[in-house]
């Protein structure tokens, strides 16, 4: 245990020493895959050289306002290191070592996709509900476009442990093994939830602190493939969080190995809401994704709980460079399809907005999560498509899910942006009171561009293509609108790209392909 503590604290101090680099120093790749590592620095500094790069990668210091490494990852699995040399640093240059882990298999080469029960069901979960949700993922074609994790959130367990064991509330879940078996037969994976303290966030059930090995064994024995691990009731400091998450991660790996399975097939999903800057240290705990925001609320803006779409934009425009293969910052559940009918997703001030997004805002919710390479986690009740068409009472309205919502969340062209194997975040290239535009490098050399109208008025935006990182004035680009699914006239790198007239809070996404 002592060695474990030292390793964990060393990881944290290494991250803190990497100050001046505002990007990860520990990155991952599958062998021989397209690779990009943006060496973004804080203001006044710049990476001008890198020592020890594998031959299949090179450094570009000229075409952007930060240096970046690109090429392909080595084909031989192993741990590679290279050293970024940060310039303009007094009294002398500073060297920061980066580690690239090339592994034949990674738990999360692309951000996971699925559904979590919390927003729509909260305490009202049970075996039947979870079964129906899983079956709907299949019957609605959601599994076919990538939503393959059915995840149970808080409030599944009995209020207290029995003989030191966390046990399911048998009124709700008579048999986890039957449930996980059924979900697996549908071709899906299934997730469970706990917390790194004595009680979970609802306080209705125990958490796993000091019971990590026992609980991990049970989660695996019951047939689960993912653990969402929350942080309510745990100590505030980042080193405690890293320690507690590392402890559960190690316990899960051990438990999975003990049943003869591959630990890389189990997803460990951290949830400390971005409060301790997990993008700096969470990968060292063994997690491959972590929440980077407060709980999403079903509002355009919610300053009270920092859970509106606006607050997520504010977070992701700052941490974009920390996104990467197998190290995903999660923007939390999508609220598409809730229409103001969720539980805690409706709490909060809403800054004068009604709970429930407009369809334009819901489209923005989905499009930006894809631009950012966030996990895509549905949170609405997908079992009652077209609830809108029935005459629902206010109470029943929790079942509302519209065809238009289904269209938004199954947009394959946007999902491809989210799941792009280069694993880049989207960089803010325009950021004003009225609009924000993000650009994202894709594995085939294409660039995705989103333009969002942040104002309550209609707005048209024009951006010189030359302002977009990765676009060259010397070339012509084919332009595809990924929401209307149409090709637009090609543009020279010297020309401007113009949005449609965007409604309040609407987003348009383009894919730019060099001719």
Question: With respect to ligand GLA, which residue has the nearer C-beta, 203 or 413?
Answer: 203
Instruction: Tell me: does residue 153 bind ligand GLA (CB under 6 A).
Output: yes
Question: With respect to ligand GLA, which residue has the nearer C-beta, 295 or 302?
Answer: 295
Helices and strands (H and E) in the chain: how many: 10, 23
User: Distance (Å, rounded) from C-alpha 37 to C-alpha 11?
Assistant: 20
Question: With respect to ligand GLA, which residue has the nearer C-beta, 230 or 284?
Answer: 230
Question: With respect to ligand GLA, which residue has the nearer C-beta, 59 or 113?
Answer: 113
Instruction: Tell me: does residue 118 bind ligand GLA (CB under 6 A).
Output: yes
Which of 148, 215, 295, 405 is the catalytic position? Answer: 295
Name the residue whose CB lies closest to ligand GLA: 201
DSSP bridge pairs for 430 = 437
Of the ranges 38-46, 90-98, 198-206, 214-222, which one interacts with ligand GLA (CB under 6 A)? 198-206
Nearest to 296 by CA among 326, 265, 336, 242: 336
Annotation marks residue 332 as catalytic: no
Instruction: Tell me: does residue 270 bind ligand GLA (CB under 6 A).
Output: no
Site mask for ligand GLA (CB under 6 A), range 282-311, x = bound = -------------x----------------
Nearest to 509 by CA among 420, 381, 383: 420
How many residues bind ligand GLA (CB under 6 A)? The answer is: 10
Of the ranges 26-34, 194-202, 428-436, 479-487, which one interacts with ligand GLA (CB under 6 A)? 194-202
* Angle, CA 28 vertex, CA 24 and CA 34 arms, to 5°: 105
**Nearest-10 crossing angle of helices 309-319, 359-371:** 20
CB 441 within 8 A of CB 422: yes
Binding residue for ligand GLA (CB under 6 A) from 40, 271, 309, 409? 271
Instruction: Tell me: does residue 123 bind ligand GLA (CB under 6 A).
Output: no
Instruction: Tell me: does residue 230 bind ligand GLA (CB under 6 A).
Output: yes
Would you give the end-to-end CA distance of the chain in angstroms?
A: 57
Binding residue for ligand GLA (CB under 6 A) from 125, 201, 256, 409? 201
Q: Which residues contact 502 (CB under 8 A, 6 or more apart)?
A: 451, 452, 453, 458, 459, 460, 461, 508
Residue carrying the six token digits 């438990």:
255
Which of 215, 230, 405, 446 is the catalytic position? Answer: 230
Residue 157 CB, nearest approach to ligand GLA (Å): 12
* Angle, CA 435 vertex, CA 432 and CA 437 arms, to 5°: 100
Residue 201 CB, nearest approach to ligand GLA (Å): 3
Annotation marks residue 169 as catalytic: no
The three-state (H, E, C) secondary structure of 210-225, written as one string: CCHHHHHHHHHHCCCC
Of the ranges 196-204, 240-248, 421-429, 490-498, which one interacts with ligand GLA (CB under 6 A)? 196-204
Question: With respect to ligand GLA, which residue has the nearer C-beta, 22 or 154?
Answer: 154
Ordered DSSP codes for 157-176: B-SS-BTTB--B-TTT-S-H
Number of neighbouring beta carbons within 10 Å of residue 490: 13
Q: Which residues are catalytically annotated?
A: 230, 295
Interface residues with ligand GLA (CB under 6 A)? 118, 153-154, 200-202, 230, 271, 273, 295
């Amino acid at each position: 245990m002592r060695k474990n503590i030292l390793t964990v604290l060393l990881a944290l101090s290494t991250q803190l020493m990497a100050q001046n680099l505002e990007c990860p120093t520990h990155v991952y790749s599958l062998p021989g895959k397209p690779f990009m590592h943006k060496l973004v620095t804080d203001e006044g500094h710049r990476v001008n050289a890198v020592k020890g790069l594998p031959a299949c990668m090179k450094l570009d210091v000229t075409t952007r306002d930060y240096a970046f490494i690109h090429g392909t990852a080595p084909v031989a699995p192993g741990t590679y290191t290279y050293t970024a040399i940060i310039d303009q640093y007094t009294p002398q240059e500073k060297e920061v070592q980066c580690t690239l882990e090339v592994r034949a298999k990674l738990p999360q080469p692309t951000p996971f996709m699925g559904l979590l029960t919390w927003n729509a069901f909260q305490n009202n979960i049970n075996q039947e509900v979870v079964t129906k949700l899983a079956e709907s993922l299949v019957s609605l074609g959601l599994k076919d476009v990538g939503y393959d994790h059915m995840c149970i959130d808080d409030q599944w367990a009995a209020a207290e442990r029995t003989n030191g064991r966390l046990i399911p509330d048998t009124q709700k879940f008579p048999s986890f093994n039957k449930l996980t078996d059924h979900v697996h037969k549908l071709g899906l994976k299934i997730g469970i939830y706990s917390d790194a303290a004595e009680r979970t966030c609802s306080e209705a059930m125990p958490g796993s602190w000091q019971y990590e090995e026992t609980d991990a064994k049970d989660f695996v024995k019951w047939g689960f493939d993912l653990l969402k691990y929350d942080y309510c009731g745990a100590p505030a400091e980042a080193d405690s969080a890293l320690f507690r998450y590392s402890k559960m991660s190690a316990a899960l790996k051990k438990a999975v190995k003990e049943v003869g399975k591959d630990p890389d097939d189990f997803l460990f999903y951290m949830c400390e809401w971005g409060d301790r800057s997990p993008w700096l240290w969470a990968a060292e705990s063994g997690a491959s994704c972590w929440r980077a925001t407060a709980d999403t609320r079903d509002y355009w803006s919610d300053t009270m709980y920092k859970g509106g779409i606006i607050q997520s934009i504010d977070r992701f425009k700052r941490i974009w460079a920390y996104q990467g293969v197998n190290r995903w910052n999660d923007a939390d559940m999508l609220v598409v399809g809730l229409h103001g009918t969720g539980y805690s997703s409706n709490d909060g001030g809403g800054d004068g907005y009604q709970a429930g997004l407009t369809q334009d805002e819901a489209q923005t919710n989905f499009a930006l999560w894809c631009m950012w390479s966030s996990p895509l986690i549905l949170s609405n009740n997908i079992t009652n498509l077209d609830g809108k068409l029935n005459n629902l009472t206010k109470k029943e309205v929790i079942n509302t899910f519209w065809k238009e919502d289904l269209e938004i969340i199954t947009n394959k062209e946007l999902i491809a942006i989210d799941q792009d194997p280069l694993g880049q975040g989207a960089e803010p290239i325009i950021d004003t009171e009225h609009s924000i535009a993000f650009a994202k490098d894709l594995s085939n050399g294409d660039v995705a561009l989103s333009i969002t109208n942040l104002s309550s008025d209609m707005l048209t935006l024009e951006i010189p293509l030359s302002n977009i990182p990765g676009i060259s004035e010397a070339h012509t680009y084919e332009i595809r609108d990924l929401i209307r699914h149409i090709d637009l006239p090609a543009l020279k790198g010297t020309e401007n790209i113009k949005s449609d007239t965007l409604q309040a809070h609407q987003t348009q996404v383009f894919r730019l392909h060099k001719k």
